[in-house]
Amino acid sequence: MTTKTQTVCRGRPCAFNKEETLGKALELFWRNGYEGTSLSDLTKVMGINKPSLYSAFGNKEQLFLQAIDLYEKRPDAFFYPAMEQKTAYLVVQSMLRGAADRMANADHPQGCVTVHGALSCSEASATVKDALVKRRLDGQQALQKRFEQAQQDGDLPQHVDAAILSRYIGTVLQGMSVQANNGASTEDLYAVADMVLQNFPKA
């Protein structure tokens, strides 16, 4: 158990910044998927050798899971932060526009790594696939809870089924991830987002 910044430790100090290195792994997994990324690719991009990678992150699978953790916590994550908007409409607006901005951003791979990381894979990688499915379902459920809260707050009509609405928004977000993979621009995705927002149930 090593802490990220160098704790006062004996022995040779770690020559790389763990979080920064993990970010490079994330970028690679994001672009090429879990099975499309090899350890040689990883060590090359991360700038470390395999034994360093294994001692710092465990193995390929654990490295991936840690990269996904970083993905959801990184500064320009948009999903969970959007949940803090004041009304259901504003939550969805922030979420869809955030998705349009980020998913087609050329500074990093297109789409969402939670969708692209391991949508289909061999049975050997089932653990990773299941972890991503769980992330997606967790996000959807959190959104459902947010909609239920909005109904209590009075900014989302009572007749709306929060489970179905959150599934619908989740569907659009995941579809936008595929669209970004198709080469859709932020502008293209904004148009889709607006279409959803125009029909969003009003209080």
Partner DNA sequence: TTAATTTTGTACTGATCGGTAAAATTGATG
Partner DNA sequence: CATCAATTTTACCGATCAGTACAAAATTAA
Residue among 46 and 189 whose Cβ is closer to DNA: 46
Q: Which residues contact 144 (CB under 8 A, 6 or more apart)?
A: 162, 163, 165, 166
Q: What is the DSSP string of 111-123?
A: S-HHHHSSSS--G
Check residue 40 for interaction with a copy of itself (CB under 8 A). no
Shortest CB 77 distance to DNA, Å: 26
CB under 5 to 8 A by kind: which of a copy of itself, DNA, none does 89 bind?
none
CB under 5 to 8 A by kind: which of a copy of itself, DNA, none does 14 bind?
DNA
- Binding residue for a copy of itself (CB under 8 A) from 25, 63, 170, 186? 170
Positions that interact with DNA (CB under 7 A)? 2, 8-16, 37-41, 48-52, 54-56, 59-61
Site for a copy of itself in 107-146 (CB under 8 A): 115-117, 119-123, 125, 133, 136-137
Amino acid letter, residue 60 = K
Cβ 13 vs Cβ 6: under 8 Å = yes
CB under 5 to 8 A by kind: which of a copy of itself, DNA, none does 10 bind?
DNA
Q: What is the DSSP string of 125-190?
A: GHHHHHHHHHHHHHHHHHHHHHHHHHHHHTSS-TTS-HHHHHHHHHHHHHHHHHHHHTT--HHHHH
CB under 5 to 8 A by kind: which of DNA, a copy of itself, none does 61 bind?
DNA
